[in-house]
Amino acid sequence: MTSESTRPKVVVALALARPLLDQLMECDLTIMAPGVAEDRGLGNALADAEGVLVSSNVSVDGDVMASAPNLRVISTMSVGLDHIDLDAARERGITITNTPVLSDAVADLTMALITMLSRRIPEAMGAVDGGGWSVPLGGDLARKQLLLVGFGRIGQAVAARALAARMRVTYVDTRDGLPAVSGVDRAGALAGALPDADFVSLHVDLNAKTRKLMGRQEFTLMKPTAFLVNTARGGVVDQAALTWAVTEGEIAGAGLDVLEDEPPLADDPLVRDPHVIIVPHIGSATTETRDAMAQCAVDNLLMVLHHEGSPFVVAPNERLQPVDGGRPGERR
């Protein structure tokens, strides 16, 4: 049995079910109350910790790492890493792991938003709620062109669903070595691919290069009948530019799981716009996926502490490249 003095100290800064906590009993655990870590209370708790489990709501910046000289691993229950200072982790040799096990859930939501936009389902529901029975004409998905911006795990999962709906699928991506998928064509630059797309779906992580990737210039390149779908990160889209594009009819509408500021203000024009669907960041919000993410986060932590390595190490080795949805290792 491991002695108390040799048990690795681990901080749990997210809610875990009892069976998962039991798997961590070989560690000397500090369990933080919900909300405390989000309020910048993490640094003090990590003073002598070797590992920490966090969610995407918890910021782990350079100052936090500086207060944790023994920290070896940050295991985040997310794909996105924009809440962690990766440069600071590399400088200190701290291993970062993530949980890229949510591809199906995010892809399902992406296709749901595409379908709702195409068939104008919110407007039809609103008609019934208002006591009417009018049926607004929507459009077919078959033969429409879907442009995937990012072709990692999630982008590929969306492509499979779109092909089943008989859509034409293309993608843009800056990386080499991506798999060839029958029926999916690789386009060149984003600017050249946007004018042909009926739907543009974002599946990139949020970083300095992708922040505000979709801005006013990009929206002017899209068809006035085209829709934007974002299940990646809110910061990938210039929200002011999107508001302008929808309001001015530059594009037909948008389906958004993420926003620059969450939750939005009640008077945000996008919230009130009938051509925009907004859901509250639910890309991974299924019981099965959240359970899988939590298990993956625990497994990652223990593997690194045991010097066994993990298939989901993102830093410092970066065996997984940023890809999906704001969500490296997949990127969401």
Q: What CATH number has the domain bearing residue 112?
A: 3.40.50.720
125 and 255 co-located in one domain: yes
Structural domain count, the chain: 2
Query: Per residue in 234-258, pLDDT tens?
Result: 999 999 999 999 999 999 999 999 9
90 and 122 co-located in one domain: no
Q: What is the largest CA-CA distance in the chain?
A: 71
Contacts of 313 (CB under 8 A, 6+ apart): 95, 96, 97, 300, 304, 319, 320
Is residue 303 pLDDT above 70, yes or no? Answer: yes
Is residue 1 pLDDT above 50, yes or no? Answer: no
| Dihedral Cα 227, 229, 235, 239, nearest 10 deg | 30
Query: Per residue in 78-92, pLDDT tens?
Result: 998 989 999 999 999
307 classed as catalytic: no
- Indicate which residue of 233, 275, 331, 332 is catalytic: 233
pLDDT of residue 44: 87
50 and 180 co-located in one domain: no
| Torsion 59-53-98-229 (CA) sign | negative
pLDDT of residue 134: 85
123 classed as catalytic: no
Is residue 322 pLDDT above 50, yes or no? Answer: no
9 and 145 co-located in one domain: no
**pLDDT over 70, % of the chain:** 92
Q: What is the mean pLDDT of residues 99-118?
A: 97
Is residue 172 pLDDT above 90, yes or no? Answer: yes
- How is residue 103 written in tokens? 């591809």
Q: What is the mean pLDDT of residues 274-286?
A: 97
192 and 169 co-located in one domain: yes
Query: Per residue in 5-28, pLDDT tens?
Result: 689 999 999 999 999 999 999 999
By the 8 A CB rule, do 74 and 55 touch?
no
Domain finish residue from 255, 278, 301 = 278
68 and 151 co-located in one domain: no
Gap between the Cα atoms of 81 and 262, Å rounded? 17
Phi/psi for 12 (5° steps) reads -105, 110
Least confident of 40-44, 55-59, 192-196, 224-228: 40-44
Gap between the Cα atoms of 76 and 67, Å rounded? 18
Residue 14 lies in a domain: yes
Q: Which domain holds residue 245?
A: 103-278
- Indicate which residue of 166, 262, 288, 319 is catalytic: 262
Q: Which DSSP category does 130 fall into?
A: T
87 and 137 co-located in one domain: no
113 and 259 co-located in one domain: yes
Residue 79 lies in a domain: yes
Residue 321 lies in a domain: no
Half-sphere exposure of 326 (CA within 13 A, CB side): 27
170 and 297 co-located in one domain: no
Residue 206 lies in a domain: yes
Is residue 105 pLDDT above 50, yes or no? Answer: yes
Residue 331 lies in a domain: no
120 and 204 co-located in one domain: yes
Residue 23 lies in a domain: yes
Residue 327 lies in a domain: no
pLDDT of residue 39: 62
Q: Which DSSP category does 256 fall into?
A: E
Give which of 99, 73, 102 is closest to 10, Cα–Cα. Answer: 73
332 classed as catalytic: no
Residue 330 lies in a domain: no
242 and 108 co-located in one domain: yes
292 and 305 co-located in one domain: yes
Residue type, 322: P
pTM, full prediction: 0.89
Query: Per residue in 189-199, pLDDT tens?
Result: 999 999 999 99
